[in-house]
Amino acid sequence: MLIRDFRFDDSDYQTLRILTEKIYPDEPTSVETLRWDDDSRPKVWWRKRVAEVDGKFAALGTVGEPFWSLQEGKVHLSVEVDPDYLNRGIGTRLFADLEALAHARGPVRRLITGTQEDKTAASDFLRERGFEVAIREPISELDLPAFDETPFVHKIQQAEASGIRLVSLADLAREYHNWQERHWQLDTAIMQDVPTPDPFSPRTLETFVRQHIGNPGFSPDVTHVAVHGGEWVGISELYIDPSHPEVGGTGLTGVTRPWRRKGLATALKLKVLHQARTRGVRRVITDNEENNPMFQINLMLGFKAKPAWLGWQLNLSEKD
């Protein structure tokens, strides 16, 4: 087995796309999205490694600073193994390679990683090494052609009656010259309260624009914002990869603190789902922390729970 750096070329990206869709068949991706994922990352320490067996791409490993929640000595690490190469020790060797890279760079106080709940071998691997679950985020999916919005449309009427405009981001981009900055400010305010094991690290406007507006799936005609007067008070995002227009991936859905518990998130979600259906989307996928009220809203709307994402952490006593 050979472990090497990821080459960031067409060949490696195409092979990575095949690997990713093999591991997560319900969540299609594209070379463009995988490239954007790398290109939009802030300037942090980050390595991607490939395990090859007889010249074939058997696993991908990543290790680096978790730019979404930066803390001194905290390192994110992940290993994805082709199902055809499981139980051969490949993941174990790649994991050790990534750990060594992290420790060679400097003191490591905590390792964090993630797995999907139904991939029990991965969970067992982490438990054996002392990792503990820090967060559970159930994935849920909506069959959009079968969705009946009738029982919920009063939420839209209720919001509009209170003076709220529910407007697509595309329309707001024509209305506000500084719409990107307003989008960023709204996202930053809401993200502070999204449940995570550690505090969220706010993004710069430049990084936000790369990560959101630069996303190949950015769909401003589907994403909707709640506006009260001149204030943006809530948002529901949906990303639609042009390579897979039948699938919508939910971004952030939330409202600012003064506007919570008023049914506004549900109203926004309904507007998004309605517009997504006109775009030909058939499946909408999302995930939420299990105690987040947004998860219950999604279940109420008819989203079906699937195996959860598990966030793991290992606290180390390294002193060097």
pLDDT digits (tens, 9 = 90+) for 197-208: 998 999 999 999
Task: Answer yes or no: do 98 and 9 share one domain.
Answer: yes
In eight-state DSSP terms, residue 218 is B
Q: How far apart are CA 93 and CA 148, in angstroms?
A: 49
Task: Answer yes or no: do 145 and 100 share one domain.
Answer: no
Residue 162: pLDDT band with limits 50, 70, 90:
very high
Is pLDDT above 70 for 185?
yes
Does residue 179 sit within a domain? yes
Is pLDDT above 50 for 320?
no
Summary count for the chain: helices (H), strands (E) = 10, 12
CB 208 within 8 A of CB 184: yes
Task: Answer yes or no: do 147 and 55 share one domain.
Answer: no
Task: Answer yes or no: do 300 and 151 share one domain.
Answer: yes
CB 241 within 8 A of CB 282: no
Q: What is the pLDDT of residues 26-77, one digit of tens each?
A: 999 999 999 999 999 999 999 999 999 999 999 999 999 999 999 999 999 9
Domain boundary among 61, 92, 108: 108
* Domain enclosing residue 51, as ranges: 2-108
Task: Answer yes or no: do 52 and 153 share one domain.
Answer: no
Does residue 135 sit within a domain? no
Task: Answer yes or no: do 103 and 146 share one domain.
Answer: no
Return mean pLDDT, the chain.
96
Does residue 311 sit within a domain? no
| pLDDT recorded at residue 21 | 96
| pLDDT recorded at residue 89 | 96
Residue 262's CATH number: 3.40.630.30
Task: Answer yes or no: do 73 and 157 share one domain.
Answer: no
Show Cβ contacts of residue 23 under 8 Å, excluding neighbours closer than 6 positions.
80, 81, 82, 83
Does residue 189 sit within a domain? yes
Task: Answer yes or no: do 104 and 147 share one domain.
Answer: no
Domain boundary among 108, 127, 149: 108
Q: How far apart are CA 53 and CA 89, in angstroms?
A: 12
Segment 71-91 mean pLDDT: 96
Is pLDDT above 90 for 3?
yes
Does residue 58 sit within a domain? yes
Does residue 320 sit within a domain? no
| pLDDT recorded at residue 225 | 99
Q: What is the pLDDT of residues 281-292, one digit of tens each?
A: 999 999 999 999
Task: Answer yes or no: do 259 and 176 share one domain.
Answer: yes
Q: How far apart are CA 252 and CA 254, in angstroms?
A: 6
Is pLDDT above 80 for 25?
yes
**Parallel, antiparallel or unpaired: strands 247-255 and 56-64:** unpaired
* Strand ordering across the sheet containing 247-255: 2-5, 46-53, 56-64, 74-81, 110-116, 304-315, 132-143, 283-287, 247-255, 231-239, 224-228, 164-168
| pLDDT recorded at residue 313 | 98
| pLDDT recorded at residue 268 | 98
Q: What is the pLDDT of residues 134-156, one digit of tens each?
A: 999 999 999 999 999 999 999 99
Q: What is the pTM of this model?
A: 0.93
Q: What is the pLDDT of residues 123-135, one digit of tens each?
A: 999 999 999 999 9
The total number of structural domains that make up the chain: 2
Does residue 237 sit within a domain? yes
Does residue 314 sit within a domain? no
Task: Answer yes or no: do 94 and 162 share one domain.
Answer: no
Q: Which residues are bridge partners to 136 per DSSP?
A: 310
Task: Answer yes or no: do 103 and 218 share one domain.
Answer: no
| pLDDT recorded at residue 319 | 44
Task: Answer yes or no: do 158 and 227 share one domain.
Answer: yes
Domain boundary among 61, 93, 108: 108
